[in-house]
Amino acid sequence: MAAVALPPAKPPSISSTTMTTTTTTTATAADGTTTTTLIASAAGGTTAITTTTTIKTTSAADGTTTITTTTITTTAPPTTSAVATTTVSSLGQDQLVEIFLRLPNLPALIRAALTCRSWLGAVRSSPSFRRLFRVLHRTPPIGLFLNIDGAATPSFVPLRRSDPEVTAALRRGDFFLTSLPVKAGTLTTWGVMDCRDGYILLWNKLDRPSVDKPSVAVVNPMTWAVDIIPLPGNVKAGKRRNFAFLGFHLLCSDEKPSSFGVVCVCGDKLRVRLAVFSSETWDWVVHPWVEIYGRKNLKFGSGTLVDGSVYWPFHGEGRMIRIDTATMDITSVDLPPQVTVEGCNFMAGETKDAQLCIVYASDDFALHVWTRGVDGDGIEIWVPQKTIGLSEIDRITMDLEGDLEVVQVRSGCVYLSTTCMTPVGTFRCWFFSLSLETMELELLVEGCFDGGACPYIMAWPPCLVGDDGSIGHEVEGSQ
């Protein structure tokens, strides 16, 4: 019986409304078996139908020919699934804050956060995001407040004149401190003591302390808010010889930008005491005297506030005291053996990630940096980080003789000044910033001032804070 040719199997139909692609392949084995495979795919790869037809011809001894046809049809699941459309509004809070961390600076974050309510809520409801953003995007100072001998108020020197956003902020604010009261008939002199989170703390050095009550002022130049705060009268109670106000510090919080605190440190020959003011209660809390057993008085203005504790070095000694403003515990902290505090050659401060550090300017015009660590026995030690040569300052000051002063260490940036006598017999001061991360030294201002300068950094905007959904409010000025 002769072989009979059979027509190929009819492929499964696909709707005519769908564009298809058909592929046919035929293979013949050595025993004469023929296999035909037909694949029909819909457009986009959403459906795949495969038909395999196998034809096998066999002949028996009696001459009979048998043709066997096998057809297998399979329908594959879609090779790709339709991808759901992702829109900006479908982003979750975790995704939003990850995107916001990649913005270049605070003004860019403000513009993005104010775009819609959900974006603003993502920023306002995450204190951890605010802290991390400030670590990753350190805001440079927009200006300096300089203490000028004989001036009633500090002078402000803008630093970023080419930045339009900074220029606009300076135009709106009271950076000339015109809102500070100056009494007629007195030699009122306001000296800047601290700048932190958009606030300025000033001390009124009166010419008649026996008649007028000394006071401090807290100013927010961006909002023109001024608070005049008389110092507590009982802060001198129980004083001994050599009583003095040693310094003042601002207490601020990212979570409560409309509130602030003031720490007043005073001392006599062998003791110190703290008085802490809160803008929420509008009251001072005066703490008891504590013995410090120092051979010399602590120097005015040489302390610094780091992470809620005040650090104050003993001049002529290799130690400093630590005062916890929350618990009022006062402890002595030894300094590295090579550090001897003289003049303004030493300052405690904080690194970029808010870790405690100390900076010491040696006589050979080098800067030495240590951070606080723990040894193998769990004992706190000072860990040396780097030594930085400052020969560049000699070049800028034309090798004029002058001492190097460490003014402030804030957010991984060291602020330095040097005052020199010029050939014509006048004093001239240079004020620098040095990044501990990049080692970049920058001259910020040069002129005739006493070297006391305080960098002003824009605060985290109150509109981006409010875990309870509130925008917040500014402190109203006192009259």
Per-residue pLDDT of the chain (479 residues; tens, 9 = 90+): 444 444 444 444 444 444 445 455 656 666 656 565 545 454 444 445 554 555 555 555 555 545 454 556 555 555 544 455 666 677 888 888 899 999 988 888 988 898 888 889 889 888 888 888 988 888 889 999 998 877 888 999 999 878 887 888 888 899 999 988 876 666 678 999 999 999 999 998 764 554 557 899 999 998 899 999 999 989 999 998 889 999 999 998 877 778 899 999 999 888 999 999 999 999 999 999 999 876 666 889 899 999 999 999 998 888 999 999 988 899 999 999 999 898 899 999 999 888 999 999 998 889 999 999 998 888 999 999 999 999 899 889 888 888 889 999 999 999 999 988 888 878 889 999 999 999 999 999 998 877 678 999 988 887 888 655 343 333 333 33
Compute the distance between CA of residue 428 and CA of residue 261 in angstroms, rounded to an integer.
35
**Are residues 96 and 120 located together in one domain of the fold?**
yes
In a domain, 42, yes or no: yes
The domain total for the chain is: 2
Q: Which residue segment(s) compose the domain that 120 sits in?
A: 90-129
**Are residues 55 and 100 located together in one domain of the fold?**
no
Task: Tell me the CB-side half-sphere exposure of residue 402, using CA atoms within 13 A.
Answer: 26
**Are residues 28 and 50 located together in one domain of the fold?**
yes
In a domain, 101, yes or no: yes
In a domain, 95, yes or no: yes
In a domain, 96, yes or no: yes
